[in-house]
Chains A and B, each alone.
Chain A
């Protein structure tokens, strides 16, 4: 199972506690993980990536195994520890504002 850690506001939106565990068919990429996430939690559509362009929203970033993957193409295979479930994919919101 793929493990995903959501930022707090999206956890409350999706009514989940802790990590989300997803089954992903085919190659495990940012794109396929987000597809699976949105299928399980449709209320998250549009909150992480744009509805139409599918581009990452600017104040969010993707981290895996201490690496920032935000600027990688969304169809690049994720690291093995993510695929095996050893490490989570972290969707991180920028810390700003009051």
Chain B
């Protein structure tokens, strides 16, 4: 019988929620990595028991954790205690938490600064890993989206990480600027039909696409309008909050921007707004139904300065028409006095039938629906603030 595993990253540790295919009774495991910020956890599509986690701390920096048994045990992929830390020829062994920008002359050297809040140039400084995206085919290959914005890749299961420097190097890097949450690369989408195509999104630079496996990149922001930047239709500078894709239609992407919900049907070459009748089109999360590529979900948030649901009512909005026409989903969700936020990596779907939809809040609740959003229930209510939710559907 199928089952689901929900990977929850929070401000004070990681939790793993499991259930059978009915999704009625849940087991809660955790906290793992207690006291540490877990920005993101995700499993490999090629080996569901291979999990990766981004463990971070303002005190102690970045740690990468890896599990080979579905989260029962964890290890840091680097050198083991007591083992030599250098190779026989004197080179450092794997250091799984080492993210160093490529500053070689051919790629990164001219790109050591970006735009700061006051318009001056500021050095690129590694802060943390926001998002881990395992390869669709190889459990040892993982992409990491980091702050300050860049994309890294490991091909040895997380032991060593190397920047795909063409992203920062394509020319607009010095014009990128941080949003209020920092300058983070938070979204990485791998095209299941074209192994050379990768989409990423950065706050607040915008969306980018590579068609050659990450060597070169181009901005894909035509159609985005952002009134809060000097040129509202600029090539870069847009605060994209999240992008989602349905596996069957990788040229169609859905975007929750700082304000506005948009879609593209040509792999990002052109976007159009589909906010339609949403009560507010500010928000962070967006996701697509597992079996209906035109059914999408968002959680509207009041505004960019008031990060909570409108009128204190927590409502997921669903469109079955790929946008523009939206319906509120409220059954089981608090409809008064609710002032939580739902952060950008905190919504996910399972691939059971009917499709399950999940999201976590900064109030520590993880809500689930086992019927595509018609009815909701809390799996847990009192976790630390939730940073991320990923769901695995297990055979």
Contact = CB atoms under 8 A, between A and B. Distances in A.
Interface of A: 7-10, 12-15, 38-43, 45-48, 51-52, 57, 59-60, 93-94, 97
12 contacts: A9-B36, A10-B60, A42-B79, A42-B95, A43-B76, A45-B97, A46-B62, A52-B100, A57-B61, A59-B59, A93-B60, A97-B58
Nearest to B78: A42
A25 to B, nearest CB: 15
Given A9-B60, A10-B60, A59-B59, A38 B36 contact: no
Given A41-B81, A42-B83, A43-B78, A93 B59 contact: yes
Contacts of A94: 59
A86 B57 CA distance: 32
Chain B interface residue bracket vs A:
20 to 34
A46 B61 contact: yes
Contacts of B224: none
Contacts of B95: 42, 45-46, 51
Interface in B61-114: 61-63, 76, 78-83, 85, 93, 95, 97-98, 100
A15 B78 CA distance: 15
Contact of B58 (A15, A45, A59): A59
Given A9-B57, A59-B58, A46 B98 contact: yes
B223 interface: no
Contacts of B93: 42
A43 B85 contact: no
Contact of A40 (B58, B61, B81): B81
Given A42-B85, A59-B58, 4 more contacts: A8-B35, A12-B34, A57-B60, A94-B59
A51 B98 contact: yes
Contacts of A10: 60
Contact of A47 (B34, B61, B79, B82): B61
Nearest to B60: A47
Given A42-B78, A42-B80, A42-B93, A9 B98 contact: no
A51 B97 CA distance: 9
B35 A9 contact: yes
Nearest to B11: A98
Contacts of B57: 9
A51 to B, nearest CB: 5
A13 B97 CA distance: 12
A30 to B, nearest CB: 17
Contacts of A13: 60, 63, 76
Interface in B125-164: none
Contacts of B82: 40
Nearest to B81: A41
Given A45-B95, A60-B59, A38 B81 contact: no
Nearest to A45: B95
A57 B100 CA distance: 16
Interface in B1-46: 34-36
B8 to A, nearest CB: 19
Nearest to A49: B61
A12 B31 CA distance: 13
Given A9-B57, A43-B81, A59-B58, A51 B63 contact: no
Contacts of B78: 42-43, 45
B83 A9 contact: no
A8 B81 CA distance: 18
Given A46-B97, A51-B95, A38 B63 contact: no
Contacts of B79: 42
Interface centre among A14, A47, A48, A52 (most CB of B within 10 A): A47
